[in-house]
Structures are given as structure tokens and as C-alpha cells.
Structure 1
Amino acid sequence: MRIPFPFIPPLLALCALSGCGDSPETLFAKAQEDFSAEDYKAARSQLIAALDEQPGNHRMLILLARTQLQLGDPDGAENVLGRLDRAGAKGPEVQRIRARVALMRKAPDKALALMGNDDTLEALRIRADAYLALGDDGKAKAAFERGMAKGDDPDLAGAYARFALAQNDLVLADRIRQRLQRMAPNSFETQVLAGDIAAARGQVDKAIAAYRAVVAAFPDRVEPLLALANQLDAKGQVDEAAKQVDAAAKLDPDNAEAEDLKYQLLAEKGEWEKIRVGLQGREADLDPSSGLGMRYGEALLRLGFSEQARMLFKRATLLLPGNPYSRMMLGEAQLACGDPDDAWATLRPLAMSPLARPEMLVAAEKAARASGAPEADGLRERLDPARLKALGALLARGDTAVMRQDWAAVLDVYGRMLGDGSDPEVLKRMALGSSGLGRTAQAIGYADRALALAPDSPDFQFLAGHVRLQGGQDLATARRLLESAAAGDPGNPVIASDLRKAKAATG
């Protein structure tokens, strides 16, 4: 049989990929180049091959441990630390690797202890991350600032920019990004930060352009593909967003974010049967309050499985009582099941809010009409196209103001909707706007009024605790409120972060 191309035996092919035949020194040099180029998988392969020849080489082992950390593998890094111990390696560099493993193991106190008096840039980055894990933003920021003053370190600068983004300090985040651009213009973090900051500012087109550039430069990374998909979705380019999600899923078939976004886009396109078929085999394991669970519930509702949908959304509202989407879906399912009175009771509180979106008003008007509620005519009037257009413009302005942290505009927009102050969602936005402008007493007043209207809501418990914590007032009460919010919504990372800060502030 004629072979139309040169035959390469499998073993030789493997050697060609891993560098068989190269000296350990050549392999190590290649690994250093791969590490600098952020190709950590290639670096690991080169290092493993080099260490086969020189198993006790300290420099190779240290770079392998750092590579494992960059790949998010604390087990692998810890294994290498054991080899370093057996090889007799000591010193601050090994301690810093131990500290980074401790951080990944959620042991920030241990990481701080391991740093001792180490004042290098990497040690300052580790300290900052440890203080963040402990909820002490003040000490974290001080460590970041000391590091930035001490010298240029792309890892520290990137982490500080992420801290600033998490704090919604977009001016600081962009200032750090500009410095990072001078340090490492081609690094992944430098390039993706440009997109993240633009996205945080609501600059969709600019974010899309930035993420496209990152995808082109780093085609094997999942994160920019998903970030690009989210921005394309925000612009209404659902099919193009779906292409990016498909590409991400090919790179990482088990990526939960890619799966969530896939089904979100299918829902936006109304492809309910695809959602039902894709998720029905996992129904027993789906959390009804998760994104996937609620997409599945809506698919069942749209396909006529009303009773099953009602059961799922009833469970979802018990788990997330403040979620308007799950309550709207529950109301629609109740109406589809022939229970207009229950549907109106579910939808009425949401529909009476001045923030009610058109889809909520449509569902509520149907329920009110079917149950004979006198509010039906008023809801029909609110669905007048001219009124909806004016409301939509005002809500869009409010959403943009919140996203851009234009707190004066937030107070202006939602102050127009405040009325008698009986809507907790409007009060929530007034509290956030007041807090953003440093008007802590006013923010606490709005937050407490919102909490009085929904005392069992983790969302409003968090709000009342958050504005106190932000303003540095009544910290004992802030901690108590945040503890209640965390108990009611234990998986919420934002609540957990504020609770750590409150505990650090109150001792």
C-alpha cells in the first residue's frame, strides 16, 4: 500500500512535540520563552522533559511550580514543592510559591505568615491578595500602592487594576492599565483589561473591538471569547455571540459559563425545544434558581408544560424571593395553569413598581384582566406606546447612570420615580446614588426604608449593610445585616465579600 505522505511513528511524533533530543538546557530555555509568551501548557511540557534528565534542578523546578500556579493547579505546584524540598531548595522564592499555594487553598493568614519580612514586588502582590481574601481592602490597597511605587511588575499592576474594577473605581483602573500598557503591551492581562474597562463603562463598541483583538492574539483562551459574546449579545448580535460561545465550548467543553451563555442565547432566540431537549436529562440535578434552571423552566412554559414550569418557578422564587424574572415566570405559569387569582397575587407587587418593564406589564395586565382585578385598565393605560417609549428612555438613562457611576444622574432619574417612597427598588437606587456621593446618612435612610418594605429579603439586608459599611458608620449593625443577607443567600460572592470587610472592620 502506498503511503502518500511521510509516515511519522506515534512515538516520534510525540517526541517532536515535546522536544525529545534537545538538551535539558535547550528545553529549559524554550520553557522560559513559552512562559514569557504566556503559553503555560507548552512551558510545562518542556520543563517536564528537561526534568527527566535533571530531576533535582532547582531553577527548573521553581519555574515548573510557577507554571502550575499560572495554570491554576495548586496540587501540581504543591507536588513540585515536595520535589524542591527533597532537592534541598530553600529561600524566599520557594516561600513565595508556598504562599501562593496557600492563597489558592484559601488560607490567607498562612500566606501572610510565610511572607515574613519579604518586601519584594511579588511579596507585596501576595500580601495584597491575602488582605483581599481577609476582607481588609485598606491594607490590600496599601500593599498595591507600595508595590506600584517600588517598581514595575505586570502581575502586581494587573491585580491592582482588577481590585480597582471590583471597587468600581474605573478612573484608577484605567490609570493602572495605561501604566501596564507601558510595562507589558502584549500581555493577555493588558489587552483584556482594555475590554473590561470599556465594558464597565458601557462602551459596547469599544469593548467589542478590544475583545476581538484579544481573541486574535490569544486564540486558545476561553475568557475573551465569552467576554466578546456578552458584548455582542448586549448589542443585539445574538447569532454572532453564539458563534463565540461555540468556539469557547470547543476549547473547554466543561466550561459552565459557556454553557450558561449558550442557553441564554437560545432563550433570546426563542429556541425553546432545543433548550428542553438539551436540559431535560439533567432536570433532577438542575438548581431551579440558577440561570440554566430558569431557562429550562421558561422553555417548559413556552412549550405548554405549564404545571411542570409552575413547580420549578415556585421553587426558584422560594430560593430567590427578590428575583423579578422568576416571579414573573411563576405568575405566567400560574395563569397558564388556570389560576388567575394566584397569578395576579404574584405579579401585582412587581407590576405596581414604576420600574416595571413592558413584558412585566403585559403579563400582569393579562392576570389582572383574568382575575377581574380593577387595576387591569390602569395597566393597559401604562402599556400605551407613547408612555412606554418615555419610560424606556428614562429607564435606559437610569441604567446607564448606574453603570457609569454617575450618581448625580442616578438620583435625578430615580428621584422622579420615588413618589411616596413605597417602591423598594427605587429606594435601593436612591440609596446607592446617595452612598456614591458620600451622603451616608441619606443613603442609610433610603436603604432602611427599602428594608422595612421587604424585611426578609437578602438583597435589601445587604443594601442596608453595604451603605453603612461604605460610609464607615454603624459598623456593628452593618455586620449584623450582612450576616443575615449571607444566611439568606449563602452563594452570593458580593455579599460574602462585604461580610469579610465588615468582620475585618469590627474585629
Structure 2
Amino acid sequence: MIRKTSLLAGVALALSLAACSPDPESSFARGQEAFAEHDFRAARVALIAGLREKPGNLEMRALLARTQIALGDGEGAAATLERLPAGEKGAPEFATLMGEAEVLRGRYAEATAAVEGIETAGADCVRALALLAQGKVEDAAKAFAVGEGRDPADPRLLASSARFELARGDIERARMLADRAAQVDAASIEARLAQALVARVRDRLPASLAYYDAALKEHPANFEARLGKADLLLVMEKYDDARPLVSGLFEEAPENRDIALLRAKLAARDGEWKQVRDILQAFEADMRDIPQMRLVYGEALLELGNGAQALTLLQPMLRANPGARDLRALIARTQLAVGDAQGALDTIELLAMRPDAQPEELAVAAKAAKAAGSNKATEFEKRSRQATPEWVGGELAKADRALRNRQWESAERSYEAIMAKGASKNALVLNNLAYAKSHLGKKDEALKMALQAVELDPQNASILDTAGWLLVQNGSRDRGVAMLEKAAKLDPDNAAIANRLARAKKS
């Protein structure tokens, strides 16, 4: 009886294990689906499971190698491809994948050898990237150019070439290549990401965000697109939108240093300097390669009273980049904090002597000069309250650029700085400040300034448009509609004004 029970139990266990073993075909299907969605981590798990059962499935093996390459795992991809039958390794598809894996592994000669004799855009891209990694920029450009001339055109190569040109500083050519990649394949995420990067470098932040959104609409799990969008949202000061995205990325890749920097920036925004330090401390060894991380970490150390340590971190950066304005100001503040007033004055004076010196820079200079016993303190203090034409021009340019890029806090800060220095009776400054404040939810302040702008320039259609729409939003519908009607008469071809007028009448 005991033996029979044991036998039945053994059979049941074997059947249960068989039921729990993944079906290789379903694993492959899950892997394909996850890959298509750019959920490469899920794809890797499914494909590895499938290959355990069917190690000879070449299509599944190729997809696993592509997945590992997408994850930056050159070693894993190479190991996957090494298990191919000897007769298959030289096939163009597999050889090109091995070339990509070798580039990721830093084995550039091997990468080039892997694609020798293969005349495809994919092989051209491997050759170009291998040459670029070796510092052979002109040879890489030639390799990309060969790939660009292939027929049919390859959107992945075109997108890679766009990034290459962007890094070389040829923004217009990068834009042309990225747009061409998108024309070849409107669904290409590589094309959309290249377009997003180009738009950002061109200071077209809303356009860059639209490209990221388009990429994520097609591939919501794509890691690079989510990371790029999160970083851009911080630049655009959309902190509430960025937080859940950064949180999700951190859960997925807690050791990623780019995500750590985003988390630190959000903590700095909240004034949580201890949290900033705790986030970035684990990446001290990597900071030489990430100047922005060093800058944020240095400021955290200063705010936590570790000025000497901050200087050790920041001063080498200034020696390498003496024209870095924010960095110079931060170091001067740090020198003041550790009691080196003369050092602070020597550091900040280059900025304080500029005709477009910022009030904050002049304030630090005045404080340093006073502590160092310099007679320049009075001059710096006086200039901090004055508005030079150079400063006003620079601040207006900053404010207008921020407004165009929907960086409402920066726009508000610059316009208010201009007004604080006696330039408040400018209708357009008031109008633009009102517009920025309205997007920050400060409706009452915005309306007050918009109406002041109307008093100064009652025949300006744009100014009437801002004030009229704010009146409608704040409950004064009839007065707002009347103002919008006047704006529409002054500028009858303005579709935006006509649209707001129609909406106001329906409200």
C-alpha cells in the first residue's frame, strides 16, 4: 500500500512539473509580444525560457540576441550567438548581430571582422560605431554615408547617423536625417527618439516632448523614451508629471545612474538635500563622467555644511570649464561658506564685472568683497539694484525663450526680475508675465497684470487676447468676450484669438 501511494505521488509530481514547464511556443509568442512593445526585460525572460526547451530554434535565438543588445548586454548577446550551429554563424543576420554585440563589449576589431564583406545598412552601422568608438570620426562619417545611400533606406541607420551628426554639432544635418528616418518608417521608435533629441538641442522643448509622446504611444514600455521624457519634463519644470515616471523607472532599474540624477534633482527641487546626498553618494566613483551629477552633489554638500568636501569635488570642474557660469557662482558661495572670502571674490569677480551680471552674482560678490575688506563691495551692491541694458536684454531673451518652451516658473522669475529693477511699465512684459502666471495657477495675479498691460497698450491684439481670456476664466464672461472681440477685429487673421473668442461665447 505504501509503495502504491509513493508511486502515485511520483506520477502526480511528474505530471505537475510537466504542466508547470513553459511551453516553448507560448514562451516565444510572449517574447515576441514583449519585444514588439519594447518591454525587453520581459522579452528576455520569456525567450530564455523558450530556448531551454527548444535550443535549436534559430528565430527565437536571434530575437533573444536582439533583446540582449537592446538591453546593452553585449556579453549575453555574444553568448547567445555563440550557441548557434557553426554553419549559421556567418549568415548576414547573425553576423551583424554579433558585430553589434562586439561593439557593446568594446571589442571593435572583432566587431568590424564580424561584418566583413556584408553590404547592408546594419553592417554599415556596426562599422561606423566601431570606428567612432576608436576615435576615427571621419572614417565613421564615411561608413554612415555609405549606409545612408543604401536602397531601401534603413531608418535605424539614419537615426544613428542623426545622433552622430548631433554629437558633431551639425544640428541641421541631424534634423534632416532624423526626419528622413521618420519618413521611411513613421512607426520607427529610433526615428522618433532621434527627432526628440534634435528638437531638444534646437531648444524646441514642446516639440521634443511631442516626439517622446509619439514614441511612447507606439511603444509605452521603451526605456530610453521614458527616461528621455522624464529628463525633459524636469527641464520643462513639469515636476508633478515627472515624479511618477521617475518613480517607475527607479523601480525598474534602481542602479541606473541617469535615474539617480533625476531623483536627486527632484529632491533638490524640494530642498531635501540629505536625500540628494544619499541618492548620489553611491555614484561618487562615476561622477567624473557626469558633470551635472557632480554639480548637484556639490550643492547638496554645501547645503549640508560640508563646504570643504564640495570644493574638492567642484574646483577641478571649474579648471576644466572656466566659463561655466552656474558652477563659478556655486564655488564662490561655497568658498564664502568655508570662510575664504578672498577666494570667493577672486572666483566671482569675473562674473560680477560683466555688464550683464545677475543680481545674485553681484550679491555674492558684494558679500565676498565686504568680508575680504575690499572697497569694491559698495560698487557691487549698488549695481545689484541697477538694470543695465545688457542685463535687461539678456533677461528678456531668457524670459521669452522660457515662455516659448513652456517653462512657466523660469519665465515668471525672469519677468519679475525685470520689473523689480524698474522696468515694470512695459505692456509686453506685463502681458507675458500674466500669461506665465496663468499657467502656474495664479489666476488673480495674472488677471491684475493683464489688465495693467491693457491700460498701457489698449490697441494690442495679443494683450487684449490674454486679458480677455483671463477675464472669462475668472468669471467676468461678458467683459472678457468684449475684449476678445476687440482683439479679433484688430487681428482678424489670428486663428488662436478667433478660437478663444468662439470658446468664450459658448461658455
- Equivalent positions of 1:24-35 (< 5 A) are 24=25, 27-28=27-28, 31-32=31-32, 34-35=34-35
Correspondences of 1:118-129 after superposition (within 5 Å)? 118-129=118-129
1:100 aligns with 2:89: no
Q: Distance in 1 between matches of 2:216 and 2:36?
A: 18
Alignment deviations for residues 458-482 of structure 1 (CA, whole Å, 9 cap, x no partner) = xxxxxxxxxxxxxxxxxxxxxxxxx
User: Residue 248 of structure 1 aligns with which residue?
Assistant: 249
Tell me which amino acid in the other structure corresponds to 1:271.
E
Change (3 A) 1:268 1:116: same
In structure 1, what is the Cα distance between the partners aligned to 2:194 and 2:105?
26
- Check the 8 A contact 2:356/2:394 in 1, yes or no: no
Q: Deviations over 1:188-245 (max 9, x none)?
A: 2222233222211111222223323434443333433333333333333344334432
Partner SS state of residue 56, structure 2: coil
The equivalent of 1:313 in structure 2 is 311
1:79 corresponding residue in structure 2: 79
Which runs of structure 2 are paired with 1:310-349 in the superposition (5 Å)? 310-318=308-316, 320-321=318-319, 322=322, 323-349=324-350
Structure 1: which amino acid aligns with 2:83? Answer: R
- Which one-letter code corresponds to 2:64 in the other structure? L
Is the radius of gyration larger for structure 1 or structure 2? 2
Written as runs of structure 1 = structure 2, the 5 A alignment for 1:337-486 is 337-354=338-355, 356-387=357-388, 389-393=391-395, 396=398
Q: CA deviation at 1:368?
A: 1.0
Letter in structure 2 aligned against 1:390: V
1:429-448 superposed Cα distances (whole Å, 9 cap, x missing partner):
xxxxxxxxxxxxxxxxxxxx
Q: CA deviation at 1:72?
A: 1.4
Question: AA paired with 2:353?
Answer: M
Report the equivalent of 1:56.
56
Rounded to whole Å, the distance in 2 between the matches of 1:330 and 1:83 is 55
1:292: how far off?
A: 4.4
SS at match of 1:84: coil
Q: Residues 163, 152 of structure 1: CA spacing in aligned structure 2 closer, same or farther, 3 A cutoff?
A: same
CA-CA distance at 1:340 after TM superposition: 2.6
Q: Does 1:174 align with 2:172?
A: no
Q: Distance in 2 between matches of 1:194 and 1:181?
A: 8
Question: Cα deviations across residues 123-159 of structure 1 (Å, max 9, x unaligned)?
Answer: 1121222222233333323322322322222321221
Letter matched to residue 176 of structure 2: R
Q: Is the 2:178–2:194 contact (alpha carbons within 8 Å) kept by the matching residues of 1?
A: yes
**Whole-Å Cα distance in 1 between the matches of residues 197 and 246 of structure 2?**
18
Render the CA deviation track for 1:89-116: whole Å, top value 9, x for unaligned.
Answer: 5433333233222211223233223322
Return the letter of the residue paired with 2:394.
G
**Identity of counterpart residues, as a percentage?**
32
Which residue identity lines up with residue 95 of structure 2 in the other structure? Q
CA–CA separation in structure 2 for the residues paired with 1:48 and 1:15? 18
Structure with the bigger RCO (C-alpha within 8 Å, sep 6+) is 1
State the partner residue of 1:220.
221
Is residue 108–residue 131 contact of structure 2 (8 Å, CA) maintained in 1? Answer: yes
Contact 1:222 1:252 in 2 (8 A): no
Which secondary structure state, in structure 2, belongs to the residue aligned with residue 77 of structure 1? Answer: helix
Give the Cα separation in 2 of the matches to 1:29 and 1:238.
Answer: 38
**Which range moved further: 279-288 or 373-382?**
279-288
Question: Deviation per CA, 1:252-286, whole angstroms, max 9, x where unpaired?
Answer: 2222112112222333443335435x359769879
Residue aligning to 2:435: none
TM-score, scaled relative to structure 1:
0.65
Contact in 2 for aligned 1:314/1:330 (Cα 8 Å): no
> Using the alignment, how far apart are the partners of 1:184 and 1:365 within structure 2?
58
Which residue of structure 2 aligns with residue 481 of structure 1? none
Partner Cα distance (1:282, 1:63) in 2: 34
Q: Does 1:116 align with 2:116?
A: yes
Cα distance in 2 for partners of 1:67, 1:59 equals: 12
- Aligned partners of 2:159, 2:283: CA distance in 1, in Å? 40
CA contact (8 A) 1:313 1:329 kept: no
Q: How does 1:234-245 map to 2 (within 5 A)?
A: 234-245=235-246
The SS at the match of 1:206 is helix
Counterpart secondary structure, 2:362: helix
SS of the residue 1:386 aligns to: coil
| CA distance, structure 2, for counterparts of residue 140 and residue 92 of structure 1 | 21
The more displaced of 326-335 and 283-292 is: 283-292
Q: What is the rounded CA distance, in whole Å, between the counterparts of 1:146 and 1:284 in structure 2?
A: 41
State which drifts further: 146-155 or 31-40: 31-40
Structure 1 distance, partners of 2:227, 2:59, is: 36
Displacement of 1:320 in angstroms is 4.1
Q: Tell me the amino acid that sits aligned with residue 138 of structure 1.
A: E
For residues 152-178 of structure 1, give each alpha carbon's deviation from its aligned partner in whole angstroms, at most 9, with x where no partner exists: 223212211211222233332232233
Q: What is the CA distance between 1:29 and its match in structure 2?
A: 5.6
Identify the residue that residue 496 of structure 1 maps to in structure 2: none
Specify the code of the residue in structure 1 equivalent to 2:308: R
* Distance across 2 between alignment mates of 1:184 and 1:14: 43
Q: Distance in 2 between matches of 1:44 and 1:137?
A: 34
For residue 91 of structure 2, what is the aligned residue in structure 1?
91
Q: Specify the code of the residue in structure 1 equivalent to 2:238.
A: Q
CA distance in 2, matches of 1:366, 1:328: 13
Q: 1:489: which partner in 2? A: none
What residue number does 2:145 align with?
145
Which residue in 1 is equivalent to 2:189?
188
Deviations along 1:61-81, one digit per CA (max 9) or x if unpaired, are 333223322221112112122
| Contact kept in structure 1, 2:155 and 2:181, CA below 8 Å | yes
Q: 1:196 and 1:274 mapped to 2: Cα distance? A: 30
User: Aligned partners of 1:161, 1:145: CA distance in 2, in Å?
Assistant: 11
Query: Which residue is 1:203 aligned to?
Result: 204
| SS in structure 2 of the partner of residue 110 of structure 1 | helix
Instruction: List aligned pairs for 1:146-161, cutoff 5 A.
Output: 146-150=146-150, 151-161=152-162
After superposition, give the CA deviation of every residue in 1:369-413 in whole Å (9 maximum; x if it has no partner).
Answer: 22231222332243235227515337749999xx9xxxxxxxxxx
